[in-house]
Structure 1
Amino acid sequence: MIMNLVEMINVNRQYGSGRTLVEALHPTNFSLNSGEFIGIYGPSGSGKTTFLTILGLLQSPTQGKIFVNGRDMTKMTSREKTDLRFNKFGFVLQASNLIPFLTVKEQFKVVDKFTTSRRRKMNQNELLNLLDLQDVAHNYPSSLSGGERQRAAIARALYNNPDIILADEPTASLDSSRAEQVVQFLANIAHESQKGVIMITHDTRLLAATDHVYEMRDGFLRQQN
């Protein structure tokens, strides 16, 4: 059954005031459903990352409301928001943000430590195999290639079996072939496991695998298909 996972209602984000006021995100209405893979593109500085971090509860909007599984995020305490992030969201950022003193397989321990949800996690070995990381499972990040680090970050983000996956340029450090594989993997996760996936990318060729495409420009989000 299709379910509304996240909804934004008239959400905006402003910085500064008076003559220095910057509208990083203009009033935006947006929703993400289960089983949906959404792609967002646009030039640097257009507001894509601001949009994604607000949607993922990493920063608060200036105005507007965000509902996660029908719950009003604006009425939650900081602790409740933190719990929601760890248990409902999976983040894949441009920088892999792996813990340098943990091996690839040990990265999963970070998720175990902060997760309070009782839902079944994804199988670690299956994730490593799916992302072709089995041969480097016991390596530290410093000995990995850029592509391997990014795939390890994706594995860690998916391990908690999140309902919502937010990927900010997840293929930036990958070659074309590997990038297409990762995007297809995200599409499969959305469609087969009924997750909601949002991917920000500069490579418009990768948008073919998504269900809907949005353009972000000057803080305005507009659906293209």
Structure 2
Amino acid sequence: MTALIEMKQVTKTYGEGKMKVVALHETNFQLNAGEFVAIVGPSGSGKTTFLTTLGQLQEASSGKILVKGKETGNLTEKEKTDLRFREFGFILQASNLIPFLTVKEQLDLIDRLDKRKHSKSDRKELFNLLDLEKVQDQYPKALSGGERQRAAIARALYNNPSIVLADEPTASLDTQRAYQVTEMLAGIAHEQGRGVVMITHDTRLLDKVDRIYIMNDGHLVEETHA
């Protein structure tokens, strides 16, 4: 089975010489369709660097990243942008909502940019699931932290990406909502055959995932159970 995305001996460094910092040591990682994977570890351990490198938001210093079996290293910036838009859904710690667009307009923009058709029922289902119906005409500055996070989740999932990369997606949510979002991400993987990677500090959410990786000082290691 071809992986949705794969890292082969990938590293990420910053600076040169004595100022060189290794943020991500040599990493091998594979995400298959239908998998929900969690990345845990202390703050500053390299989790976000791993996720943004995996998602082509920053360039790897060495190694290869393959998306659906195709290497991405030689792609032009436009090709990488197209790849991110087509294949990835990003849920980042900074919600990255466009400040001058309402919640509804954030999704309208995707409709204009994407040639694939999105049904009104898809949007309604997302808004219902994330409790965004009452704030869909609000701008990001008028939303609470939890509402902004949920709007960012809706935008990330609306494009039906094959790969969802979520950096602390439940950090601004109350406990009940955090469980709902985690169950939704699990459903996206297990029922829709997509791949989901979630960074989290909340160990209560890990019972829904298929595999757990621990990041420590730039080293990624899969947790194994006896």
TM > 0.5 between the two?
Answer: yes
CA deviations over 1:33-67 (Å, ceiling 9, x no partner): 01100000111111101100110001111100000
Please state how far the C-alpha of 1:6 moved relative to its aligned partner. 0.2
Judge conservation of contact 1:86–1:114 (CA < 8 Å) in 2. no
Residue in structure 1 matched with residue 162 of structure 2 by the alignment: 163
In terms of mean alpha carbon deviation, does 130-139 or 39-48 score higher? Answer: 130-139
CA contact (8 A) 1:53 1:59 kept: yes
Q: What amino acid is the match of 1:126?
A: E
Match of 1:211 in 2: 210
Q: Does 1:10 align with 2:9?
A: yes
User: CA offset at residue 3 of structure 1?
Assistant: 4.6
Q: What amino acid does structure 2 have at the position aligned with 1:208?
A: D
In 2, Cα distance between the equivalents of 1:65 and 1:3? 15
Q: Which moved more, 1:99-108 or 1:209-218?
A: 99-108
Segments of 4+ moved more than 6 angstroms: none
Equivalent positions of 1:45-124 (< 5 A) are: 45-116=44-115, 118=116, 123-124=122-123
Instruction: Check conservation: 2:122, 2:158, Cα contact below 8 A.
Output: yes
**Percent of aligned positions that are identical:** 61
Partner of 1:43: 42
Per the alignment, residue 201 of structure 1 pairs with 200
Kept in 1: contact 2:111–2:118 (CA 8 A): no
What residue number does 1:145 align with? Answer: 144
How large is the RMSD of aligned CA atoms in angstroms?
1.5
Displacement of 1:222? 0.4
Q: What is the TM-score when the length of structure 2 is the normalising length?
A: 0.94
Cα drift, residue 119 of structure 1: 6.5
TM-score by length of 1: 0.94
* Unaligned residue ranges in structure 1 (runs of 5+): none
Structure 2, unmatched stretches of 5+, are: none
Moved more, 104-113 or 9-18: 104-113
Per-residue deviation, 1:175? 1.2
Q: Which amino acid aligns with 2:158?
A: Y
In structure 2, do the counterparts of structure 1 residues 119 and 220 end up closer, same or farther at CA, with 3 Å as the change threshold? farther
Shift in Å at residue 138 of structure 1?
1.6
For residues 55 and 123 of structure 1, the distance between their equivalents in structure 2, rounded to whole angstroms, comes to 27
Deviation at 1:113, TM superposition (A): 3.7
* Equivalent residues of 2:2, 2:69 under 8 A apart: no
